Amino acid sequence: MGENDPTVPGDGRPLVLTTFTVLADMATNVAGEHLRVESITKAGAEIHGYEPTPGDLRTAERAELILDNGLGLEAWFEKFVERIPAPHAVVSAHVEPIYIRDDAYAGKANPHAWMSPLVAEQYVQNIADAFVALDPANADDYRTNATDYIEQLREVGAELDADLAVLPPRQRALVTCEGAFGYLARDFDLQEAYLWPVNAEQEGTPRQVVHTIDFVRDNDVPAVFCESTVSSKAQLQVADDTGARFGGQLYVDSLSDGDGPVPTYLDLLRYDARLIADALVGQR
């Protein structure tokens, strides 16, 4: 969205805002034709420390519902929503969180639950519940759309399982910049390691780099990765110092533009799984 991005003129449908593009895509699939869904943050934005613009606030004042991830993801959202009269729904409600093990965030929930399609089913159910409460007249459509979308999630989950099944037991370590893959790692039998647990100001510190270098060497990790919304500089240093390949950029906190590799959430899941599998078995 952003300060200079007007809402669609002449569209009388209720406006639903989400905090980032992944949620907007999920919500659009559940909303169907009945609601207009927009993301506050634009494709490619770093969402953890986003600073809302005056234009974001003006648009939010016209919204009838705001969806946020919760689990501490959107550090800016609490103050933002204080100024907005619209109700908001937390789409990660009822998700069993994974807790961060180390660093300054130890003991806090890992907020990236949508990165597992199994967990995302709960997101979709929560979105449908929020839409039914907002617009009961179209409740049957929201429930049907949610059921159809969950079926698509299960199909993608089966594809992910097949893509990652090619990895032998000793090559199932996923090393990324941000610790955003805990739910995917748990549900698809991967071992996760990362430079930092959550995107913040202190990223790629010497201690984090050394710790990751030691992990890559100790586990003979063939490839390491970084996320599309952060600098890969520290991870490239890990690759240089260990001889591991830099496997490429993974998508987590944001979709791409429409002509990019991950214009939808389902595309994001497929893209990441194939990039991970190809790099770890040496095809990239």
CA 42 to chain centre: 13
114 and 136 share one domain: yes
CA 213 to chain centre: 25
Q: Scan for tokens 């770890």, then name that residue.
A: 280
128 and 197 share one domain: no
150 and 196 share one domain: no
Nearest C-alpha neighbor of 125 from the set 97, 154, 92, 156: 92
117 and 191 share one domain: no
Q: Is residue 128 part of a domain?
A: yes
Residue 86, class by beta-carbon neighbours within 10 Å (0-12 exposed, 13-18 middle, 19+ buried)? Answer: middle
**Which residues of the chain are modeled with pLDDT < 50?**
1-6
pLDDT of residue 46: 84
Contacts of 84 (CB under 8 A, 6+ apart): 57, 60, 61, 63, 66
pLDDT of residue 147: 98
Q: Is residue 8 part of a domain?
A: no
Cα(181)–Cα(255) distance, rounded to whole angstroms?
Answer: 16
143 and 31 share one domain: yes
Q: Is residue 9 part of a domain?
A: no
Nearest C-alpha neighbor of 136 from the set 36, 22, 14: 14
Contacts of 73 (CB under 8 A, 6+ apart): 19, 47, 48, 111, 112
CA 69 to chain centre: 9
pLDDT of residue 40: 95
66 and 199 share one domain: no
pLDDT of residue 201: 55
pLDDT of residue 5: 44
113 and 175 share one domain: no
Domain that holds residue 219: 168-280
108 and 40 share one domain: yes
Q: For 133-173, how does the pLDDT look when each residue is reduced to its tens digit (9 = 90+)?
A: 999 999 999 999 999 999 999 999 999 999 999 999 989 99
Domain boundary residue, one of 159, 185, 210: 159
Order the strands of the 65-68 sheet from edge to edge.
Answer: 36-39, 15-18, 65-68, 88-90
174 and 152 share one domain: no
Domain boundary residue, one of 119, 136, 159: 159
CATH number of residue 184's parent domain: 3.40.50.1980
pLDDT of residue 198: 86
Domain boundary residue, one of 126, 159, 192: 159
Rg (CA), the chain: 19
Q: Is residue 2 part of a domain?
A: no
pLDDT of residue 3: 40
pLDDT of residue 284: 57
41 and 154 share one domain: yes
pLDDT of residue 2: 42
Cα(55)–Cα(75) distance, rounded to whole angstroms?
Answer: 19
39 and 127 share one domain: yes
- Give the total number of structural domains in the chain: 2
Q: Is residue 72 part of a domain?
A: yes
Nearest C-alpha neighbor of 221 from the set 241, 244, 250, 240: 244
